[in-house]
Amino acid sequence: MLLEAKGLNVRYGRITAVKDLDITVAEGQIVTVLGANGAGKSSLLKALIGLVKPASGHIHFNGQDITHCSPSERVKAGLALVPEGRRILISLTVEENLLLGAYHRHDKAAVAREIDALYQRFPNLGERRYAKAACLSGGEQQMLAIGRALVGAPRLMMLDEPSLGLSPLFISRLFDLLSDLNRNGLTVLLVEQNTGMALRVAHACHVLELGREITHGTPQQLKADKKLQEAYLGA
């Protein structure tokens, strides 16, 4: 397993945001975590990247116990998070934002090559490389946030509701991109409320409700579960 979290609990005071969660992500997979507002999805990703300290539980990544590692140690180990709401730095240029994602890498020539490849892939970003990120559209900002994670050369990219606020056209481009990156070897952990798109690209899926996992399985298994479809997946 590339990522394995066991018995994870995240608490904020008396609120339990994630309760006794086990989750594994095998190398090469796209795993999705679905759930309504407040289900604990972001808390899970924050615990995995080290932004919140779990009350209990263990996290292993690539054979290493990272439970007590700092976020930057986790990034160095190969984890990346594209946070909810993009969080790019709008007063910096597109290129400066991308370079931030590569801060821990020493091979600057390789970074420059990868940034060039990214501009090929997203001409909108390439054309605006020296412009302030503030002038990008919402969809372009999301692509920049993903690009910033990619230039960190992660082994596992985690994304927190990347489709939020995007037009249908950008959403389908986004999911095509994730599938493409995955076919090229990137492992993905995807938090979404866009159930239809997430189930289309994922190999495995977990459904959370109020911090607890209510079910997990393959997209086929979840789509076949009529009760689940009606209650949680908005069918």
Three-state secondary-structure class, residue 21: strand
Q: Which is nearer to ligand ATP, 99 or 157 (CB)?
A: 157
Q: Does residue 141 interact with Mg ion by CB under 5 A?
A: no
Match 């390439």 to its residue by tokens: 126
The number of residues that bind ligand ATP (CB under 6 A) is: 12
Name the minimum Å distance from CB 125 to Mg ion: 25
Contacts of 128 (CB under 8 A, 6+ apart): 94, 135, 136, 140
Q: Which residues 187-226 are close enough to bind ligand ATP by CB under 6 A?
A: none
What letters, b where the CB count within 10 A reaches 16 and e where it falls short, cover 201-227? bbebbbbbbebebebbeebeebbebee
Near ligand ATP by CB under 6 A, which window of 40-48, 113-121, 147-155, 198-206? 40-48
Phi, psi of 142 (to 5 degrees): -65, -40
Distance between CA atoms of residues 97 and 85, nearest Å: 15
CB 121 within 8 A of CB 70: no
- Say which entry of Mg ion, ligand ATP, none residue 220 contacts (CB below 5 to 8 A, set by partner kind): none
Query: Under the criterion CB under 6 A, does residue 134 sit at the interface with ligand ATP?
Result: no
Q: Does 37 bind ligand ATP (CB under 6 A)?
A: yes
Q: Round to whole Å and give the CA distance between 41 and 24.
A: 15
Smallest separation (angstroms) from Mg ion to the CB of 24: 21
Query: Is residue 148 part of the contact set for ligand ATP (CB under 6 A)?
Result: no
Contact region with Mg ion (CB under 5 A), list: 9-17, 37-45, 59-67, 202-210: 37-45
Nearer to Mg ion, 43 or 97 (CB): 43
**14 counts as binding ligand ATP under rule CB under 6 A:** no
Token pair of 69 as six digits: 């590692």
Residue 38 interacts with ligand ATP (CB under 6 A): yes or no: yes
Exposed / middle / buried, residue 16 (Cβ in 10 Å: 0-12, 13-18, 19+): middle
Question: Of the listed pieces 24-32, 41-49, 124-132, 176-184, which binds ligand ATP according to CB under 6 A?
Answer: 41-49
Residue 103 near ligand ATP by CB under 6 A: no
Give the interface with Mg ion as residue ranges (CB under 5 A).
Answer: 41-42, 84
